[in-house]
Chain A
Amino acid sequence: MMVKKKLARFLSFRYVLLALILLILAGGLVMLPKVEKQEGIHAEQLLNKAISTERYVSTDELSDKIISQDPSFILVDVRDPQSFNEYSLPNAVNIPLRNLLDEEYEAYINQTQYDVIFYSNDNFYADQAWVLGNRLGYQNLRVLKGGINEWYNSIINPTVPNEQLAAEDFELYSTRKAASMFFGVMYPEQNRVEEPVIEKPAARKVVPVKKKKKRPVEGGC
């Protein structure tokens, strides 16, 4: 009986102790969230991703994708609506940088089905959109390297390579030129070429026929 009593007293005391400790800990848990909740991935992780150039898509790659009707990506123009309306890439969505995190656009950039290619005039604002989106853990975000300006310099108005350059440069130029025609640019020779093509064979046809007639004449002489 004595043992039982002692044990019981001790145990009831322990309960109070346990309850106290639990209360203190619970209080501590209430204090913890006071440290501001961290949004998104760790800064070091974000830096590592941002330093790498993996996110960049070149203008040549992009024009290839558009021409071959690759369905795996969506284009997001982060410039203001005015610039967007003036000129933008085919089928692009306009999400001005300031509205990037608005709820109505979240469905475009926070999904895993498509690659999202951001672009602006250069890749300055597009990179900013990329950094913020990546911090929030959005997947498959890419950036058009050089933006619209590079698009103009390489695809819309490609520089004609000078004659000393390698054959690849000429190949690249003709690919880009063909691409630029796809995107609406017209070249003077584009129209001119067609007619001479018809004329020249006609001229050739006439001449050989005459020569044949003349040869027998010569031989006869």
Chain B
Amino acid sequence: MKELEKVKRISISSTLFILAVLVGVLAYERPENMYARNTKSTLEDLTRLNYIIPMDKLDSPDVVLVDIRRPYDFEQGHLENAINIPAAEILREENKKIFRKLKDSNKLAVLYGNKIEEANIPFLLLYQLGYDNVKLLSVNNKYLHNSLITESADVEKPVANIRAFIDESVRNATKKEEVKKPAVIPKKVIPVKKKKKLPVEGGC
């Protein structure tokens, strides 16, 4: 009898165990968005591949422009033939479908925003999710006098040589000081005022 009870206990616990495993398997949920690339390979691609497309290479029919700005900005003015997918909504199912479709039909999705830095984030995210047909358009847009002004953007181009600027400022500051010294000294002579006052005294 004792043995029978032991067997009973073992079978009950193993049934429970199986149930738990079943529940686990059923509840196992794949994340909605699966990364296709890990960070290391993404970083490698970023430094190796050219993912920035200049404005003048847009003529190809295999290019679809994607405006990642808010719908309000998009309606005010956008590039010709662009579709609007706001950056915050790129992971929505219907939008991912668009990117998937473009990828399947071997078309490039070229993203742009007000600044290229703005389109950078959605690009990077989509790229990690495996949409390697996504590129960046190197333009900056601004809205002026009721029209959209598009300028080509130089990514990460330094505006100035700061070291040279500082050295130059130091040189200028020390040089000018020496030149101006003699110019300042004559101001010391105030006798002009004395002359004016003397006639007054005389008048009295």
Contact = CB atoms under 8 A, between A and B. Distances in A.
Interface of A: 4, 7, 11, 14-15, 18, 21-22, 25, 28, 32, 35-36, 38-40, 42-44, 46-47, 50-51, 83, 86-87, 97-98, 100-101, 120-125, 127-128, 131-132, 135-136, 147-149, 151-153, 156-157, 183-188, 190-192, 195-196, 199, 202-203, 206-207, 210-211, 214, 217-218, 221
A92 to B, nearest CB: 13
A207 B42 contact: no
A101 B40 contact: yes
Given A7-B4, A124-B116, A191-B177, A207 B91 contact: no
Interface of B: 4, 7, 11, 14-15, 17-18, 21-22, 25, 28, 30-36, 38-40, 42-44, 46-47, 87-88, 90-91, 116-117, 120-122, 124-125, 128-129, 155-163, 165-166, 169-170, 172-174, 176-177, 180-181, 184, 187-188, 190, 193-194, 197, 201, 204
Nearest to B32: A44
Shortest 4 CB-CB distances between A and B: which pairs?
A: A186-B173, A43-B33, A191-B177, A98-B47
B46 A187 contact: no
Nearest to A210: B194
A190 B173 contact: yes
Given A122-B117, A192-B176, 11 more contacts: A11-B11, A25-B18, A42-B33, A86-B163, A100-B43, A128-B120, A131-B125, A136-B39, A188-B177, A192-B180, A195-B181
A160 to B, nearest CB: 14
Count chain B CB atoms within 10 A of each CB in A4, A32, A43 and give the residue with the most: A43
Contact of A28 (B25, B124, B190): B25
B201 A131 contact: no
**For chain B, what secondary structure do more than half of its interface residues adopt (helix, strand, loop), or is it mixed?**
helix
Contact of B18 (A18, A135, A187, A203): A18
B125 A47 contact: yes
Given A97-B47, A186-B170, A218-B204, A124 B35 contact: no
A42 B35 CA distance: 9
29 contacts: A7-B4, A11-B11, A14-B11, A18-B11, A22-B17, A22-B18, A39-B39, A40-B35, A43-B32, A44-B32, A47-B122, A47-B125, A51-B88, A122-B155, A123-B117, A132-B42, A132-B43, A148-B162, A156-B162, A157-B160, A185-B165, A186-B169, A186-B172, A195-B181, A199-B187, A199-B188, A211-B197, A214-B197, A217-B201
